[in-house]
């Protein structure tokens, strides 16, 4: 990241550009992250806890916004440190890129999407069509096989669905299709904020940086090719048995509800001038994804302690750091744990491997391929940056334990630290890309750096092409085999019975009246 004296956009400042200041960006991002949480409080909870949690959250946010210019040492910092100017052509380019990435990611289900979107569609549908809190009566199941398997009774809906709150409210006003449009726009707005924050950290309004972030991934092409060459099964991203992390665009395709807020919080943490608001930011991550919150926790602790070790306790004992974590934990911990079966498999990673040798091989490849090569490339730029090395150590440690059959603890817990490394790496690549664009420049090293991102982008590009071609097949040829609205539809009326085991495990809360959340907090 660049220092204050190097913050330039490469364009003449004037009426043909938009200025984004540090305070404007942080305030807009905080409002973006908080609105869905407040809707959940007011729409899902009883009157007293809903209003109380809302007021306490707003209090923590107001205090945080007012203290955004205060550093760890208590002094006022200059707002201009991260301010940038974005010319209108670059702004238009950013908007078009954002829309393209959101569409190719399948958000809103307007084109082809991965199988995860079978469930994503149903989540939004049920938040629109059912009263809150959502309760399913099994008598509404029209598929005989599903109805027979479920029998009689009811179940409540529990999942980390806060991200869908704004589109769900829109859908209650104007219907499901409108809700899907709002989901698309809401996601585009979040990704645009992420891109803007990344450019502010970089110090330049660079579309190349934005594109690089979406293309960023590990060097999965190498173990993928080795697996295929040896006659073993593998996919572009999944080449290990259990130790799996995903590139940035693949996160958009599958867990946009977690990665977009997670990336935004990561950018805000890096940009924050002190540790005084870390509690609010870190605990906001818990509202969107409990697994990602665990991965971001070490970075929050680092942000509190390292800038001013002698005053860390003063930075910790602030309204933003104390009120918000308590409120969010009291509300969402009982909600997530109401479904005791949601975690599925859990245990130390070696319990899931047939032999220690296979585990060691996968772990070493994971370290080298996913973030080790990038770290070696940018080590001189990093120096002793404590936030980077905290992210690096978190990625080393987090594979030790597995939670859920798909290992969501690793895949989502690695989201924030891996995105931080991708930020540093793509900034480095963008610098070298600009060198390559200079006339008469024949240096080999910058070209090799750019080539590294091209190689790593193999998986992301494949997914983009797959999404684009499949969407074209749907809309031009009328082949709706991958229409994500048709396999599940609603958890209250499941179309295809093969999805029932996953739905029962991940989304249903049986005997919900006896759980802490639905007895004392929910309407």
State yes or no: pLDDT of 213 exceeds 90: yes
* pLDDT reported for residue 74: 52
Region 377-389 average pLDDT: 87
Calpha distance 496→148 (Å, rounded): 13
- Categorise residue 59: left if φ over 0, alpha if ψ from -120 to 50, beta otherwise: alpha
Quick: pLDDT tens for 224-281. 888 888 877 777 778 887 888 889 999 999 999 999 999 999 999 988 766 677 888 8
Confirm whether 80 is domain-assigned.
yes
Quick: pLDDT tens for 36-62. 999 999 999 999 999 999 999 999 888
Three-class HEC string of 163-189: HHHHHHHHHHHHCHHHHHHHHHHHHHH
Categorize the per-residue pLDDT at 7 as very low, low, confident or very high, splitting at 50, 70 and 90. very low
Nearest alpha-carbon partner for 410 in 235, 185, 242:
242
* pLDDT reported for residue 9: 39
State yes or no: pLDDT of 11 exceeds 60: no
CB-based burial of residue 165 (10 Å sphere; 0-12 exposed, 13-18 middle, 19+ buried)?
buried
Categorize the per-residue pLDDT at 134 as very low, low, confident or very high, splitting at 50, 70 and 90. very high
Is residue 268 classed as helix, strand or coil in its secondary structure? helix
Query: What are the distances in angstroms from CA 367 to CA 85, 376, 492, 519?
Result: 37, 12, 42, 45
Confirm whether 3 is domain-assigned.
no
- Categorise residue 175: left if φ over 0, alpha if ψ from -120 to 50, beta otherwise: left
State yes or no: pLDDT of 310 exceeds 70: no
Residue located via tokens 């205060």: 70
- Higher-pLDDT residue of 168 and 300 is 168
* pLDDT reported for residue 405: 79
Confirm whether 8 is domain-assigned.
no
Quick: pLDDT tens for 322-344. 889 999 999 999 999 998 777 77
* pLDDT reported for residue 79: 53
Region 157-179 average pLDDT: 95
Count other C-beta atoms under 10 Å from residue 146's C-beta. Answer: 19
Burial 3-14 (b: 16+ CB within 10 A, else e): eeeebebebeee
State yes or no: pLDDT of 5 exceeds 70: no
Lowest mean pLDDT among 109-118, 134-143, 182-191, 457-466: 109-118
Categorize the per-residue pLDDT at 505 as very low, low, confident or very high, splitting at 50, 70 and 90. confident
Confirm whether 75 is domain-assigned.
yes
Half-sphere exposure of 329 (CA within 13 A, CB side): 12
Confirm whether 241 is domain-assigned.
yes
DSSP state of 354: S
* pLDDT reported for residue 239: 81
Q: Which two tokens mark 306?
A: 């390292």
Total domains present in the chain: 1
Confirm whether 4 is domain-assigned.
no
Calpha distance 33→197 (Å, rounded): 14
* pLDDT reported for residue 172: 95
Categorize the per-residue pLDDT at 347 as very low, low, confident or very high, splitting at 50, 70 and 90. confident
State yes or no: pLDDT of 293 exceeds 80: yes
Region 338-355 average pLDDT: 82
**How distant is the alpha carbon of residue 121 from its chain centre?**
18
Is residue 238 classed as helix, strand or coil in its secondary structure? coil
Region 145-170 average pLDDT: 93
State yes or no: pLDDT of 308 exceeds 80: no
DSSP state of 374: H
Could you tell me if 518 and 339 are in contact, meaning their C-beta atoms sit under 8 angstroms apart? Answer: no
Could you tell me if 132 and 43 are in contact, meaning their C-beta atoms sit under 8 angstroms apart? Answer: yes
Quick: pLDDT tens for 426-470. 999 998 888 888 877 778 888 898 899 999 999 999 999 998 988
Nearest alpha-carbon partner for 378 in 420, 317, 345:
420
Average pLDDT score over the chain: 86
Confirm whether 46 is domain-assigned.
yes
- Higher-pLDDT residue of 443 and 415 is 415
Calpha distance 212→208 (Å, rounded): 6
Categorize the per-residue pLDDT at 373 as very low, low, confident or very high, splitting at 50, 70 and 90. very high
Domain that holds residue 222: 16-521
* pLDDT reported for residue 169: 97
* pLDDT reported for residue 274: 66
Calpha distance 391→320 (Å, rounded): 23
Nearest alpha-carbon partner for 378 in 436, 437, 421, 441:
421
Confirm whether 2 is domain-assigned.
no
* pLDDT reported for residue 423: 94
């Amino acid at each position: 990241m660049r220092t204050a004296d190097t913050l330039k956009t490469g364009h003449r400042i004037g009426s043909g550009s938009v200025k984004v200041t540090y305070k404007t960006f942080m305030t807009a991002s905080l409002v973006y992250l908080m609105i869905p949480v407040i809707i959940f409080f007011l729409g899902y909870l009883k009157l007293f806890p809903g209003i109380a949690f809302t007021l306490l959250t707003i209090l923590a946010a107001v205090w945080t916004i007012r203290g955004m210019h205060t550093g760890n040492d208590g002094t006022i910092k200059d707002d201009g440190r991260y301010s940038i100017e974005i010319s209108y052509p670059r702004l238009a380019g950013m908007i078009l890129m954002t829309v393209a990435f959101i569409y190719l990611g399948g958000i809103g289900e307007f084109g082809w999407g991965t199988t995860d979107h079978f469930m994503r569609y149903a989540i939004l549908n049920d938040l629109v069509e059912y009263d809150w809190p959502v309760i399913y009566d099994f008598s509404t199941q029209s598929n005989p096989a599903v109805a027979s398997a479920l029998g009689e009774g009811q179940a409540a809906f529990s999942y980390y669905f806060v991200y869908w709150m704004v589109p769900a409210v829109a859908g209650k006003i104007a219907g499901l299709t409108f809700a899907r449009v709002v989901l698309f726009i809401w996601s585009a707005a979040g990704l645009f904020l992420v891109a803007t924050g990344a450019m502010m950290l970089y110090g330049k309004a660079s579309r190349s940086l934005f594109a690089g972030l979406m293309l960023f991934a590990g060097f999965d092409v190498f173990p993928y090719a080795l697996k295929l060459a040896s006659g073993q099964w593998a996919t572009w991203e999944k080449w290990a048995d259990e130790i799996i992390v995903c590139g940035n665009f693949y996160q958009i395709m599958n867990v946009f509800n977690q990665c977009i807020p997670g990336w935004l919080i990561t950018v805000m943490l890096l940009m924050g001038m002190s540790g005084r608001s870390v509690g609010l930011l870190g605990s906001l991550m818990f509202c969107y994804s409990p697994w990602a919150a665990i991965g971001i926790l070490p970075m929050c602790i680092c942000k509190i302690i390292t800038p001013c070790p002698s005053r860390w306790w003063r930075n910790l004992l602030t309204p933003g750091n104390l009120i918000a974590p308590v409120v969010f934990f009291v509300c969402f911990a009982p909600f997530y744990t109401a479904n005791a079966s949601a975690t599925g498999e859990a245990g130390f990673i070696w319990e899931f491997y047939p032999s220690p040798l296979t585990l060691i091989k996968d772990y070493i490849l994971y370290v080298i391929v996913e973030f080790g090569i990038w770290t070696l490339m940018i080590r001189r730029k990093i120096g002793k940056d404590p936030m980077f090395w905290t992210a690096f150590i978190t990625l080393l440690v987090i594979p030790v334990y597995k939670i859920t059959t798909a290992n969501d603890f690793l895949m989502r817990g690695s989201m924030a630290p891996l995105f931080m490394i991708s930020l540093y790496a793509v900034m480095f690549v963008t610098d070298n890309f600009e060198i390559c664009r200079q006339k008469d420049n024949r240096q080999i090293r910058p070209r090799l750096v750019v080539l590294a991102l091209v190689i790593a982008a193999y998986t992301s590009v494949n997914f983009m092409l797959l999404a684009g071609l499949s969407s074209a097949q749907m809309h031009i040829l009328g082949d709706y085999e991958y229409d994500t609205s048709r396999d599940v539809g609603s958890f209250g009326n499941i179309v295809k019975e093969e999805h029932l085991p996953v739905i029962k495990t991940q989304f249903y809360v049986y005997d919900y009246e006896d759980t802490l959340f639905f007895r004392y907090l929910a309407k």
